[in-house]
């Protein structure tokens, strides 16, 4: 049985972040979710979950900003919170073909998706190593492995996440801290379900051998396993869950 730990999930206001938060809570952990610009929506969701018997704490942070992440870590320390599990889930898209992509949109995606790996993980991985136990899970994407038209920025940032994962896994392996990547495929989130139905049915679903979108809860269950004691021999891995869309 996995001991009770404290988990921090960035981007906890989104569909996937919420599903991961619920899975880790139901696995017996104390769960903290972060938000940036969605305080009201995050608070409403936490209140809804409280009515179901689940308790989540929320903290504000801009994962793209190093100083904001440092301030978050200080607030957690002041509140007596020790982070044992870190799920780097926050991320954004700014899609365009490279010929039409602005430097600003390139930089925004890199800061939010890739720089955030350093900003959030660097101050938290040391204390995990000192205590001799930790779980770090970095959320990448199927498009970080296969590429996607109009997503040179996003695909590059998500591919970079796994290089980060492998190197950090080597650094922390002897300290009882595992570091893994999860690469979801297309999920039934608000963003994907907002795609026009004809695009979904004619462009996206035909790429997926299972013939459907993934459920955020399926990714949540995978993350909960990776964060368990039972997954202690898994580190430096990139676990794909994409319905067979990209096999490697």
Mean pLDDT of the chain: 96
Q: Considering only the top CATH level, what class is 6-241?
A: alpha beta
Instruction: Return the pLDDT at 187.
Output: 96
pLDDT, position 181? 98
Sign of CA dihedral 204, 208, 214, 220: negative
Residue 146 pLDDT exceeds 60 = yes
Question: Over 90: is that where the pLDDT of 46 sits?
Answer: yes
Whole-number Å distance between alpha carbons of 116 and 58: 18
Backbone angles phi, psi at 241, to 5 degrees: -140, 90
Q: What is the pLDDT of residue 193?
A: 79
Q: Select the more confidently predicted residue: 133 or 12.
A: 133
> 56-104 pLDDT, tens per residue?
999 999 999 999 999 999 999 999 999 999 999 999 999 999 999 999 9
In angstroms, rounded to a whole number, what is the distance separating the alpha carbons of residues 73 and 34?
A: 12
Compute the chain's Rg from CA coordinates: 17
Task: Check residue 3 and give its pLDDT.
Answer: 81
Percent of the chain with pLDDT over 90: 91
pLDDT for residue 2 is more than 80: no
Q: Residue 62 contacts by C-beta under 8 Å, 6 or more apart in sequence?
A: 36, 68, 69
pLDDT category at 160 given cuts 50, 70, 90 is: very high
SS (H, E, C) the chain: CCCCCEEEECCCCCHHHHHHHHHHHHCCCEEEEEECCCHHHHHHHHHHHHCCCCCEEEEECCCCCHHHHHHHHHHHHHCCCCCCEEEECCCCCCCCCHHHCCHHHHHHHHHHHHHHHHHHHHHHHHHHHHHCCEEEEEECCHHHHHCCCCCHHHHHHHHHHHHHHHHHHHHHHHHCEEEEEEEECCECCHHHHCCCHHHHHHHHHHHCCCCCCECHHHHHHHHHHHCCHHHCCCCCCEEEECCCCCCC
pLDDT at position 18 is 97
pLDDT digits (tens, 9 = 90+) for 15-38: 999 999 999 999 999 999 999 988
Q: What is the pLDDT of residues 162-205, one digit of tens each?
A: 999 999 999 999 999 999 999 999 999 887 877 888 989 998 99
Q: Is the pLDDT of residue 52 over 60?
A: yes
Residue 56 CA to residue 191 CA, distance in Å, equals 24
Given the residues 59, 154, 186, 248, select the one marked as catalytic: 154
- Does 59 participate in catalysis according to the annotation? no
Domain ranges of the chain: 6-241
């Amino acid at each position: 049985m996995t001991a009770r730990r404290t988990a921090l999930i960035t981007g906890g206001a989104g569909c996937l972040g919420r599903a991961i938060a619920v899975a880790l809570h139901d696995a017996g952990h104390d769960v903290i979710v972060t938000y940036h610009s969605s305080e009201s929506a995050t608070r409403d969701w936490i209140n809804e979950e409280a009515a179901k018997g689940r308790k989540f704490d929320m903290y504000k942070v801009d994962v793209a900003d190093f100083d904001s992440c440092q301030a978050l870590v200080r607030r957690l320390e002041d509140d007596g919170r020790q982070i044992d599990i870190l799920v780097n889930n926050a991320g954004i898209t700014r899609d365009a073909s490279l010929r039409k992509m602005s430097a600003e949109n390139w930089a925004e995606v890199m800061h939010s998706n890739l720089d955030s790996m350093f900003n959030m993980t660097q101050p938290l991985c040391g204390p995990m190593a000192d205590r001799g136990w930790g779980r770090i899970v970095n959320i990448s994407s199927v498009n970080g492995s296969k590429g996607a038209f109009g997503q040179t920025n996003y695909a590059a940032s998500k591919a970079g996440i796994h290089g980060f994962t492998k190197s950090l896994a080597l650094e922390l392996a002897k300290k009882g801290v595992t570091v893994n990547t999860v690469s979801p495929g297309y999920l039934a989130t608000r963003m994907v379900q907002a795609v026009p139905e004809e695009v979904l049915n004619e462009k996206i679903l035909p790429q997926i051998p299972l013939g459907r979108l993934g459920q955020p809860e399926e990714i949540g269950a995978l993350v909960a396993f990776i964060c368990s004691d039972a997954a202690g021999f898994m580190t430096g891995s990139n676990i794909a869950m994409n319905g067979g869309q990209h096999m490697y």
